[in-house]
Amino acid sequence: MSTVRHMARQARAASNLLGVASAGARDGVLRRAAAALRSACPELLEANARDLDGARALLAAGELDASAFQRLKVDAAKVEEMARGLEAVAGLRDPLGRVDLRRLLDEGLELQRVSVPLGVLAVIFESRPDAAVQIGALAIKSGNAALLKGGREAAASVRALVDILRRCLEEEGLPGDALQVLQDRADVDALLALDGDVDLVIPRGSSALVRSIKARTRIPVLGHAEGVCHLYIDAAADPAMAVALARDGKLQYPAACNATETVLLHRDCAPVILPLLARGLPGTELRGCPRCRALLPDLVPASEADWDAEYGAPILALRVVDDLDAALAHIRAHGSAHTEAIVTEDPDAAARFLREVDAAGVYHNASTRFADGYRYGFGAEVGISTSRIHARGPVGIEGLVTVKYLLRGHGQIVADYAGPGGRPFLHRDLSPGT
Amino acid sequence: MSTVRHMARQARAASNLLGVASAGARDGVLRRAAAALRSACPELLEANARDLDGARALLAAGELDASAFQRLKVDAAKVEEMARGLEAVAGLRDPLGRVDLRRLLDEGLELQRVSVPLGVLAVIFESRPDAAVQIGALAIKSGNAALLKGGREAAASVRALVDILRRCLEEEGLPGDALQVLQDRADVDALLALDGDVDLVIPRGSSALVRSIKARTRIPVLGHAEGVCHLYIDAAADPAMAVALARDGKLQYPAACNATETVLLHRDCAPVILPLLARGLPGTELRGCPRCRALLPDLVPASEADWDAEYGAPILALRVVDDLDAALAHIRAHGSAHTEAIVTEDPDAAARFLREVDAAGVYHNASTRFADGYRYGFGAEVGISTSRIHARGPVGIEGLVTVKYLLRGHGQIVADYAGPGGRPFLHRDLSPGT
């Protein structure tokens, strides 16, 4: 058996134990880990310093970019932030053992549907070492085991952080093997072949990372490869609101997946709103379609490729459309089903947009940047999914559980309910309680 | 663009329209189709007769087995059954537009999570022509388009049935392309490569079919390749109940995926219960482990392969285990996470079993044969899933929907809520209403 398969099997066994551990024990691990992180701060900074030394060489050789180098850095404030993150996850409601269906199939034959862990997660992230702690905490809270692989430049930091979490699991009488660190890219390749042993792959990083993982595995992947989000400015839009939403959508954090990439303008309002946009988004490169450029000749010409671009930068594509139908058609053709917004004072246009756009998030008079697990009040975010299977949109810790059906009887057999003259089912729903 | 990709794109466009059609229109299609099936009965029987002629040749050539030939047959009673099935699906509660979360992120900024269709289904089934009607009805009800591929021996029957459904869609002003028939195996291969264009593959048929499809696609597959279900007879089992559950589990319908394949017996009760089982399951081939055969020398010796066998026939494997832990270990090693049952009067043993067994269904004192969407009261069954992602266990029509998040605001921007001094979120849950 390959090493990675062996690790996955150990993770499965650990998950079986963790999944039936009490909420108190799972939360206990997280609280212990918060304290342990704080007291191990010097050692963590030391491990991170080793990573930073290596990363400087990669940076000089052009194998690591400056922003990845920044994300790699851990200081005392970052350690405190991780510790607080652990405590916050400990404080979330237990996602396990929740009963969402209770039904008497017949007197004395009760069906329940109850939440249980998915089992074994694989988490692949890039340079941020704190990703290991965040996702490790969510895994422990939800009774899942996780195989973790960070960027090679973060190896020492990730190892030091995960060692602490493993020790805290064992101090609480739980298996440390619930969290394991993969070594290198060959391990990741081996891991991605383990459908059956791994239940869900969670990539945390660039869309290039997500795309590459999706292309290489049959294991379900929670994530989104692209975030091409639109703001459609309807004829009946409030101009000041339209500009504010475009500015926030594009500039509040341009690298985010929920940033607005293209603004579509109804032809009737374009003459008024285009100049306002140009003034309202200073420092932003505006790329316009020919109809935009007829109104505002200074715009950079947009090419076909702009309609599919996720800039991750202060660049915004602009297109004039004839009407709502044309806007909907553009979004169908170029949207990534992430988050789409309309700005309008016309309730009918808003209703049609909310109804007809097929995306994880569809907004009326709100910034696309709201698409986020914390802003939605989920307490934690596992990722944002543009898949239609399992979870869609921002995914909280509920995305890490599945269900099982429990049936409690008194010896009932199916033959008694079968065929003509068979006993009918009762199918009476009971209150799920907790 | 390949023909099949083109069909899938047409299906997507049809699904976009069907998904926003009213419940009345979608149910109207189904009621029309029920009437149309009844009046087209002669033509349907004629099309089926053509299939049966061809199938006789396949049967003679050994390319089709006798049970598949039986399943291919359509008579007037079967047509009436299909018509009633359509009316029953029309009578189910609308699975679309259901709001399961309503939350004020802030005053005047309301988040809703609402159910929407998955989009494009691919349904691959074998010789039963009525499968096309069943799944076609569930697809229309849930606003999904479906690409259908039946066994080649059923081609004329499937075509005739789907033509009726397509005509009824169009009579209701909806796109007939929501249901399309694939021609041959090459089409299926092309289809299975269309991740991105097809959202879910639903195989209806043998576990060999499911396994072959799972191995060939990256599209999520709803189904189960195996159903190796166990009944564990605990030391504290009521002997008569144990025998009744084993008999029902094995013999009520041996070909079902939820049939009991292996009975595990606690060593303390084995001497009493083994002879009762042998008497209680006449005509069943009992294959026993050495400890069983020491108690009942007539048993056929079981080999290692028996512990993993899904017989689909009146054959039952029997194994004596030392205790509950040994039973749990056997189930972990050999179960297919479908449905597992314990029979015991000991509440502690039952509680441990329900808690620790990791399967879609875990039962106490009830037959494994209860694992079924109709018996669970789902009104319809799309399939039974042993996957942990999306849906697990018997899947009703809810397995054909996903969600989208709607956010309705008044121009709110994220910048106002960001950083220190930012406005806090309210996160007040409202009653979901409908």
CB within 8 Å: B358 and A404? yes
Q: Given this model, what pLDDT does residue A413 score?
A: 98
Tokens read off for A236: 């009946």
Q: Is B104 exposed, middle or buried (0-12, 13-18, 19+ CB in 10 A)?
A: middle
Whether B4 contacts B152, CB under 8 Å: no
Q: Could you tell me the fold of the domain covering A229-370? A: Aldehyde Dehydrogenase; Chain A, domain 2 (3.40.309)
Mean pLDDT of B222-245: 95
C-beta separation of B181 from B133 below 8 A: no
**Lowest-confidence segment of A251-255, A407-411, B192-196, B246-250 by average pLDDT:** B192-196
Name chain A contacts of B427, Cβ cutoff 8 Å.
377
Distance from chain centroid for Cα A392: 9
The region of weakest confidence among A87-91, A233-237, B418-422 is B418-422
What's the CATH code, domain B3-100+119-216? Answer: 3.40.605.10
Instruction: State the DSSP H helix or E strand holding residue B33, giving kind and residue range, or none if neither.
Output: helix B23-39
* pLDDT value of residue A356: 97
pLDDT of residue B67: 84
| pLDDT tens profile B358-412 | 999 999 999 999 999 999 999 888 889 988 888 999 999 999 999 999 999 999 9
**Contacts A413 to B, Cβ<8 Å:** 244-245, 247-248, 252, 367, 369
pLDDT of A127 reads: 79
Q: How far is it, in rounded angstroms, from Cα B1 to Cα B4?
A: 8
Q: Is A234 helix (H, G, I), strand (E, B) or coil?
A: coil
For all residues of chain A together, what is the average pLDDT? 95
- Is it the case that residue B434 has pLDDT exceeding 60? no
3-state helix, strand, coil split of chain B in percent (to 5) is: 45, 20, 30
Check residue B183 and give its pLDDT.
87
Name which of A114, A221, A372, A412 to mutate to probe chain B: the one with the most chain B Cβ atoms within 10 A of its Cβ: A412
Give chain A positions within 8 Å (CB) of B241. Answer: 411
Helices (H), A255-315: 270-280, 290-295
Partner-chain contact A411 B238, CB within 8 Å? yes
In the Cβ-directed half-sphere of B29, how many Cα atoms lie within 13 Å? 32
Confidence of residue B126 (pLDDT cuts 50, 70, 90): confident
The shortest CB-CB distance from B425 to any of A105, A361, A375 is to: A375
Residues of B in contact with A361 (CB under 8 A): 404-407
CA distance A175 to A11: 9
Q: Dump strand ranges (E) for A226-382.
A: 229-233, 260-266, 285-288, 300-301, 315-321, 339-343, 361-366
Residues of B in contact with A362 (CB under 8 A): 404-407
Residue of B244, B366, B411 with shortest CB distance to A109 = B366
Per-residue pLDDT at A215: 87
Predicted local distance difference test score (pLDDT) of residue A325: 98
For residue A342, the distance in angstroms to the closest alpha carbon of chain B comes to: 10
Contacts A118 to B, Cβ<8 Å = 388-389
pLDDT category at B251 given cuts 50, 70, 90 is very high
Task: Select from A245, A402, A418 the Cβ nearest to the Cβ of B392.
Answer: A402
Residues of B in Cβ contact (< 8 Å) with A402: 388-389, 392
Beta bridge partners of A361: A339, B405
| Mean pLDDT in residue range B322-332 | 98
Sign of the alpha-carbon torsion through B384, B386, B389, B393: positive
**Which two three-digit tokens encode residue A71?**
């994300």
Asked if the Cβ–Cβ distance from A409 to B365 is below 8 Å, we say: yes
**Backbone dihedral region of B116: left (phi > 0), alpha (psi from -120 to 50 degrees) or beta?**
beta
Q: Which residues does chain A have within 8 Å of residue B113's beta carbon, measured at their own beta carbons?
A: 393
pLDDT tens digits, one per residue of A45-70? 999 999 999 999 999 998 888 888 99
Q: What is the mean pLDDT of residues A87-93?
A: 96
Could you give the CA distance from residue B100 to residue B143 in angstroms, rounded to a whole number? 18
| Cβ atoms < 10 Å from Cβ of B205 | 20
> Where do the H-state alpha helices sit in A217-323?
239-251, 270-280, 290-295
Do A428 and A109 form a contact (C-beta atoms < 8 A)?
no
The Cβ-side half-sphere exposure at A411, using a 13 Å CA radius, reads 10
- In this predicted structure, the answer to whether residue A126 has a pLDDT above a threshold of 90 is no
* Residue in B with minimal Cα distance to A101: B376
Radius of gyration of chain A (CA): 25
**Rounded Cα distance, A349 and A49, in Å:** 55
Lowest mean pLDDT among A389-393, A407-411, B244-248: A389-393
Inter-chain contact B389–A343, Cβ cutoff 8 Å? Answer: no
CB contact under 8 A, B390 and A393: no
For an interface test with A, the pick among B192, B389, B408 (most A C-beta atoms closer than 10 Å) comes out as B389
Q: What's the ipTM?
A: 0.93
Closest CA of chain B from A223, distance in Å:
14
Locate the chain B residue with the closest alpha carbon to A362.
Answer: B406
Going A211 to A212 to A217 to A219, the CA torsion angle's sign is negative
Which own/partner contact pairs does A208-212 have at CB distance under 8 Å and 24+ positions apart?
A: A209/A124, A209/A126
**pLDDT exceeds 80 at position A1:** no
Pairing of strands B428-430, B99-106: antiparallel
pLDDT in tens, A168-201: 999 999 999 999 999 888 999 999 999 889 999 9
How distant is the Cα of B341 from the closest Cα of chain A, in angstroms? 9
Let me know: does B265 contact B295? Beta carbons within 8 Å.
no
Q: Would you say B347 and B234 are in contact if contact means Cβ atoms under 8 Å apart?
A: no
Q: Which of A201, A226, A375, A416 to mutate to test the interface with B (most CBs of B within 10 A)?
A: A375
pLDDT at B2: 79
Whole-angstrom Cα distance, residue B274 to residue B287?
12
* pLDDT value at A434 more than 60: no
Residues from chain B contacting residue A404 (CB–CB below 8 Å): 358-362, 392-393
Q: What's residue A144's pLDDT? A: 98
Under an 8 A CB cutoff, do A375 and B413 touch? Answer: no
Of B370, B388, B418, the CB nearest to A118: B388
H or E element at residue B66: helix B66-72
Asked whether residue A283 carries a pLDDT value surpassing 60, the answer given is yes
Convert the pLDDT of each residue in B397-433 to its tens digit. Answer: 999 999 999 999 999 999 999 988 999 999 999 998 6
pLDDT at residue B362, rounded to an integer: 98
A286-to-A78, A232, A240 alpha-carbon distances in Å: 36, 16, 18
Nearest chain A residue to B18 by CA distance is A356
User: What's the whole-number mean pLDDT along residues B278-282?
Assistant: 96
Calpha distance B123→B131 (Å, rounded): 9
DSSP 3-state of A116:
strand
Residue of A nearest to B423 (CA): A375
Q: Which CATH number is associated with domain A3-216? A: 3.40.605.10
CB-based contact A366 B412, cutoff 8 Å:
yes
Q: Do B252 and A355 touch (CB under 8 A)?
A: no
Measure the CA–CA gap between A366 and B407, rounded to whole angstroms: 7
Q: Say what percent of chain B tops pLDDT 90.
A: 86
Q: Chain A: give the shortest CA distance to residue B200, in Å.
A: 8
Work out the pLDDT band at A119, boundaries 50, 70, 90: very high
Interface test with B, best of A192, A374, A404, A425 (most B CBs within 10 A): A404
Residues of B in contact with A238 (CB under 8 A): 411
CATH 3.40.605.10 maps onto chain B at 3-100+119-216
Residues B89 and B141 sit within 8 Å (Cβ to Cβ):
yes
Share of chain B above pLDDT 70, in %: 99
CB contacts < 8 A (A, B): 210
Chain center to CA of A243: 28
Q: Given A16, A360, A389, which is nearest B404 (Cβ)?
A: A360
pLDDT at position B184 is 87
> A62 vs chain B: nearest CA distance in angstroms?
33
CATH 3.40.309.10 domain position(s) in chain B: 229-370
Candidates A229, A388, A392: best to mutate against B (most CBs of B within 10 A) is: A388
**Digit-coded pLDDT (tens) for A311-355:** 989 999 999 999 999 999 999 999 999 999 999 999 999 999 999
Q: Cβ–Cβ of B415/A376 closer than 8 Å? A: no
Q: Return mean pLDDT, chain B.
A: 95
Q: Which of A377, A332, A383, A378 is nearest to A359 (CA)?
A: A332
